[in-house]
Amino acid sequence: MMSTSRIRTKARISPEVEKLVSEVLALASSGSKVEDIFWESKIFDRLSRLLKGQYQNVIDSALDITFKSQTSAFEILADAAETAAESFVYEFEGKSYDVLLISLPIIAQTKYSIPYGAISTSVAATIVDCLNECLIANNVKLSIAPWLYSIDQIPQSHSQTRQLLEKMATCAVEQTDLSYDLKEMPDTIAVLADPRFILCAIATEKGQPFFVWQEEEAERKERSQSLKSLQEAIQPTLVNLLPGCEFEVMIPDAFYTNCRDADKRVRPLSLKAAVNYLETTLGLKPSELSCIVAPFGSEIADEFRISFAIKGHPDIIYGVVWPLYDRESVSSEDIEAGGDRDVTIQLISSTLVEAGVGDVFKHAMLFTPEMCEDCGVPLFPNRSAEVVHAQMPIDTPAQQILFH
């Protein structure tokens, strides 16, 4: 009888993945700017076709292959995929327009709940006026998505980003009203400090400036000056949009860069907000809290999870996730050494100490990123290296949610 077992073969890589990886590796090996331009053109043409056809799986496979084989090629492809998703050339009535998706990040913190959701037509118009007055170059066309986005609601893939941009580009360039399907947005986890985003598409005739700091010297304003003007102009509008919140407006810029920068900036704030919340809610001094810091990921650290407990008690009462990004890494040697040499772990520890928490315990092992099967929230480590559900004490006073 013939054996039913078969020799396992490697999963077949699609031709599109092979071509994209080959072109990225060729660019990584290029020795001149002229050759760089040749390969960049091929890569962007291919990425544009893939994004238009929503073949995100091809891009993800190519990123996975280059990540495992060559760091420089991975970084080239990651940058190219983001650029192709957040910008392209729009043709209309015989003219070519450079189009860019930008985000206006707002770093918010509260004792209650940070709002998100639909923005009224009048508020959206006021925001557009503020951007045009303080930041956008002359003759730039602009459209705005009438939604205050949380980090969970912004496009989660390159294909989704490009899809949204194409809709907004039509609205910006052709100055038409476009209906946005924004009702099916996912809910966002309520946290005490979080970024919010307003998304806009800006379009200008090819080769012309987008921002005032790109204009000729007589018209030019520096970034810092533009940001200050915008913060002053938009403050009254955002106070009404974000009741009960303290917030800081960051300078609008390209979508991916700003989303990363906003999420990085909110990380230390999230820890301080957690300490303030526990102090207010439980009547504890920060010195009466202890924290457990642990890296989480499947093969490498993708994030840190920071658990809060009452000093001397084993139960985890609160948790904060500290995400890591592409160019942030923590070596296994640093994890095993307790993290004293790692910049990220040092920053987490120093932020907690600065907030008044003196007892900070760091696990010297990588944890699997588990989530609660019932409610989907992250599980957090205790001192015994178990991952558990963070649970406030039973006698905690009910928090009055004033804003939604």
Alpha helices by DSSP H, 252-383: 255-282, 332-336, 343-354
| CA–CA separation, 187 and 114 (whole Å) | 12
What is each CA distance from 298 to 59, 122, 328, 334, 365, in whole angstroms? Answer: 21, 46, 16, 17, 12
Residue 135, both tokens: 């930041």
pLDDT tens digits, one per residue of 237-248: 999 999 989 999
pLDDT exceeds 90 at position 70: no
Q: Which long-range contacts (CB under 8 A, 24 or more apart) does 178-182 make?
A: 178/143, 180/145, 180/146, 180/147, 182/118, 182/145, 182/146, 182/147
Q: Are 336 and 346 in contact (CB under 8 A)?
A: no
pLDDT exceeds 70 at position 8: no
All structural domains of the chain with their residue ranges:
15-85, 93-264, 284-388
- In the structure, how many helices (H) and strands (E) does the chain have? 10, 14
Query: Quick check: helix, strand or coil at residue 285?
Result: coil
pLDDT exceeds 50 at position 3: no
Query: What's the pLDDT at 94?
Result: 93
Query: What's the pLDDT at 327?
Result: 66
Query: Quick check: helix, strand or coil at residue 30?
Result: coil
Query: What's the pLDDT at 45?
Result: 96
Query: What's the pLDDT at 248?
Result: 95
Alpha helices by DSSP H, 250-342: 255-282, 332-336
Query: What's the pLDDT at 181?
Result: 67
Biggest alpha carbon–alpha carbon distance for the chain: 87
CA nearest neighbour of 125 among 13, 36, 211, 237:
237
pLDDT tens digits, one per residue of 149-198: 999 899 999 999 999 999 999 999 998 876 666 667 887 777 888 999 99
* Helix, strand, coil % over all residues of the chain, rounded to 5: 40, 20, 35
pLDDT exceeds 60 at position 339: no
Mean pLDDT of 351-373: 91
CA nearest neighbour of 393 among 327, 310, 330, 288:
310
Query: What's the pLDDT at 335?
Result: 72
| CA–CA separation, 178 and 144 (whole Å) | 10
Residue 182 — φ and ψ, nearest 5°?
-110, 5
Residue 114, both tokens: 């940070």
- Which band of pLDDT confidence, cut at 50, 70 and 90, is reported for residue 373? confident
pLDDT tens digits, one per residue of 105-128: 999 988 778 999 999 999 999 999
pLDDT tens digits, one per residue of 13-41: 789 999 999 999 999 999 999 999 999 99
Residue 278, both tokens: 């526990």
More confident site: 328 or 52: 52
| CA–CA separation, 263 and 259 (whole Å) | 6
Query: What's the pLDDT at 9?
Result: 39
Mean pLDDT of 258-286: 91
pLDDT tens digits, one per residue of 291-306: 999 999 887 888 999 9
pLDDT exceeds 80 at position 12: no
Query: What's the pLDDT at 209?
Result: 95
Residue 35 — φ and ψ, nearest 5°?
-70, -35
Backbone Cα Rg of the chain: 24
